Amino acid sequence: MNTGAELWMPIPGYEGIYEASDRGRVRSFWSTNPRYDSVEPKPQSITAGRSGTGGYMVITLRRRCGAFAQIAVHRLVLLAFVGEPLSGHNVHHINRARDDNRLANLEYCPVSENCGHAAHPKRGPTQRARLHADSMTGAQLKAQYRAMGLTAVGAAGILLCAPRTINDYCTSKNRGNCIPEGKRRLWVAYLEENTTNR
């Protein structure tokens, strides 16, 4: 059940052209011009994509230069709200419904775990999957606070720490490491409250 306003975020690499929402939809601000193989401004249009291989929803995105790519909607949603996955991770649909691309139903998990989910559709998530779902890396934190229009100073105010601590979490050296559990919970609480009130 969806409550509150639909939250939209720009899709990395397609800023100003496409955005993804927390309800698993994509909206476009540009249209294809077949005559010139390019894109041009238009009133926004919203789509949930179309069914592709394996039942996953896909959409074809075009850049202003005319180059295009077909990408799964679930990947676009997590790219917009969370950022790039860690190496060896891909998107997992928590309720196993491949066409349910709501942000609340998506998470990154190790490929081995995702394959395990697919092989055992009635099995609940393993301890490793639960641990991953309850963790956040510095890279994910940085992508999220930037998407919310915050700086490291703003994120530090939410996590009750010094801006330097936020920068330490997000440096190239540490960005693959998980942030402390207490800080992650503060951030998740802020996101839930902010999303509900938008």
DSSP string, 48-93: --EE-GGG-EEEEEE-TTS-EEEEEHHHHHHHHHT-SPPTTEEEEE
Cβ contact 74:53 at 8 Å? no
Buried/exposed code over 120-137 (b: 16+ C-beta within 10 A; e: otherwise) = eeeeebeeebeebeeebb
Of the two residues 117 and 20, the one the predictor is more confident about is 20
pLDDT of 78 reads 92
How many whole angstroms separate alpha carbon 114 and alpha carbon 81? 20
Query: In sequence order, what are the residues at sequence separation of 6 or more whose Cβ sits closer than 8 angstroms to the Cβ of residue 85?
Result: 78, 91, 108
Higher pLDDT, 29 or 27: 27
Phi and psi angles of residue 50, each rounded to the nearest 5 degrees, phi first: -130, 160
- pLDDT value of position 158: 81
144 sits in the region (left: phi over 0; alpha: psi -120 to 50; else beta) called alpha
Tell me the domain boundaries of the chain: 8-76, 83-133, 138-197
Say if residue 165's pLDDT is above 70: yes
Most confident residue range from 143-147, 150-154, 190-194? 150-154
Q: What band does 102 get if pLDDT is binned at 50, 70 and 90?
A: very high
Confidence of residue 66 (pLDDT cuts 50, 70, 90): low
Residue 99 has pLDDT above 80, yes or no: yes
Greater confidence (109 vs 112) lies with: 109
Q: Which residue has the higher pLDDT, 168 or 40?
A: 168
Tokens of 31: 């249209």
20 has a pLDDT exceeding 80: yes
Locate all alpha helices (DSSP H) within the chain, ordered by sequence. Answer: 73-81, 111-119, 127-133, 138-147, 152-159, 163-170, 181-197
Which pLDDT does position 180 carry in this prediction? Answer: 78
